[in-house]
Amino acid sequence: MMWITGALVVGAALLGAVAIVVGVRRSRTETLGDALVEADGEVVVEDRMANYFGLTSAHPWQLRGNGTLMLTTREIFFQRWTPAMVLRIPRGDITKVELVKAHLGKRVGRPLLKLTFRTEDGEDSVAWYVSDPDQWVRELPVATEVEAEVDLDTRQQQAAERARQAGKTTER
């Protein structure tokens, strides 16, 4: 008799888990449809499982969360699923695109896509974990020149080359 009760409990738990998975998938599909309708411009790159790491200007207790991130011809559009949130950044306002190890003290052990952008109140930044961050960096040359981080060795090589060039011009 006890095994029947156990089997019923396990069966109910499995049925509940299936209902949750189906509900989440349906919600994600509906949210993606909403995002595609709301986004301004033609979609260039998208990540349907982007993990939001927060806005620098927001309070420190803000929630991370998954959602749909899209780069369109006009904007960055992000729609977090739960709790629901929409973030829009016009492409012309983006001033820096970089890959970072952490954002707001949060990390996942893989590079995060970080965007710095202009707002009415000054500069702000946001980061996401996306499946192919290099693709986003390639596709995000913006109207203003994107600042690329150059490693120390490259800067030293460039400085040495400038010094050699300056030495050649002064010797003549």
- Nearest to 65, CA basis, from 47, 84, 46: 84
Q: Which two tokens stand for residue 59?
A: 């309070």
Instruction: Please tell me the predicted confidence (pLDDT) of residue 141.
Output: 76
Domain 39-171 has CATH 2.30.29.30: yes
Burial of 146 (C-beta count, 10 Å sphere; 0-12/13-18/19+) = middle
The answer to whether 67 and 31 have CB atoms below 8 angstroms apart is yes
Rounded to 10 degrees, what is the CA torsion of 20, 21, 22, 28?
110
Residue 162 carries which side chain, given as an amino acid letter?
Answer: R
**Predicted confidence (pLDDT) per residue in 60-111, tens digit:** 788 889 999 999 999 999 999 999 999 999 999 999 999 999 999 988 999 9
| Alpha carbons 84 and 87: distance in angstroms, whole number | 10
Q: How confident is the model at residue 27 (pLDDT cuts 50, 70, 90)?
A: very low
Q: How confident is the model at residue 29 (pLDDT cuts 50, 70, 90)?
A: very low
Rounded to 10 degrees, what is the CA torsion of 22, 26, 31, 32?
100
Instruction: Please tell me the predicted confidence (pLDDT) of residue 110.
Output: 94
Mean pLDDT of the chain: 77
Q: How confident is the model at residue 123 (pLDDT cuts 50, 70, 90)?
A: very high
Instruction: Please tell me the predicted confidence (pLDDT) of residue 21.
Output: 42
| Alpha carbons 64 and 52: distance in angstroms, whole number | 5
Highest mean pLDDT: which range of 4-18, 21-35, 103-117: 103-117
Highest mean pLDDT: which range of 47-56, 133-142, 147-156: 47-56
Three-class DSSP category at 160: helix
